[in-house]
Structure 1
Amino acid sequence: MSNSTLYLLQSSYANTSQSITQLGQFIAAGDAIVLMGESVLFITDEQIQQLGTCYVLEQDVQILGKHAHYNHMHVINYAQFADLCLQYMRCISLK
């Protein structure tokens, strides 16, 4: 557990922009984000790109299209997601 907080962004599409703004106010160096569900559609958001490491579940990447890949996006499966959660001291869900 070397890192401090993993933020799980699980908000609906309509609420994701507000959640990203809220996240920008308290994310710190060493923290990471997992975009889940409809929030994946905000992967190209300028704020998300500036906030640091961003993970997306491989099942949710399908929402973006077959060949979507972005430099700040790390695609993980459920086993890797479970391991990732264990690496952080806290996991905070934003909905």
Structure 2
Amino acid sequence: MNSSLYLIQSSSSATQSVLAKLKQIYDQQDQVIFFGEALSLLTQADLDYFAQCYCLESEQVLLDLNLIPSFTLLNSTQFADLVLQFERCISLK
């Protein structure tokens, strides 16, 4: 698989900067997992840029309720399986 998996774990103060950087390097075949504080600052406009977005089931409480349908929710086993599908996982903080 030539695509990348991006792991977005930014603080609330860095999230917009990380999203701007991600949009510069993102390809439509790539996939993105958002974690923690980054989830709480996302908008639908942010998510519309990405073909496939994920978050952990346990962290969906951080999302705006209107954004939940834009995500695929992962349990820990699904998260591990997804990560193992990629040769290239890139963490942005």
Task: Indicate whether the TM-score tops 0.5.
Answer: yes
1:73 and 2:52 are equivalent in the alignment: no
**1:68–1:47 Cα change, 3 Å:** closer
State the shift of 1:43 in Å: 3.5
**Residues of 2 paired with 1:89 and 1:42: CA distance?**
29
**Considering only aligned residues, what root-mean-square deviation do their CA atoms show, in Å?**
1.8
Moved segments of 4+, more than 4 Å: none
Cα displacement (A) at 1:48? 2.6
The 10-residue stretch of structure 1 (18-27 or 41-50) with the greater mean CA deviation from structure 2: 41-50
Q: What is the letter of the counterpart of residue 14 of structure 1?
A: S
Match of 1:64 in 2: 63
Q: How many residues align?
A: 93
Preserved contact between residue 3 and residue 87 of structure 1 (Cα < 8 Å) = no
Residues 1:9 and 2:18 are matched in the alignment: no
Query: Which structure 1 residue ranges, 5 or more long, are not aligned?
Result: none
- SS in structure 1 opposite 2:49? helix
The percentage of counterpart residues that share the same residue type is 37
User: Unpaired segments of 5 or more residues in structure 2?
Assistant: none
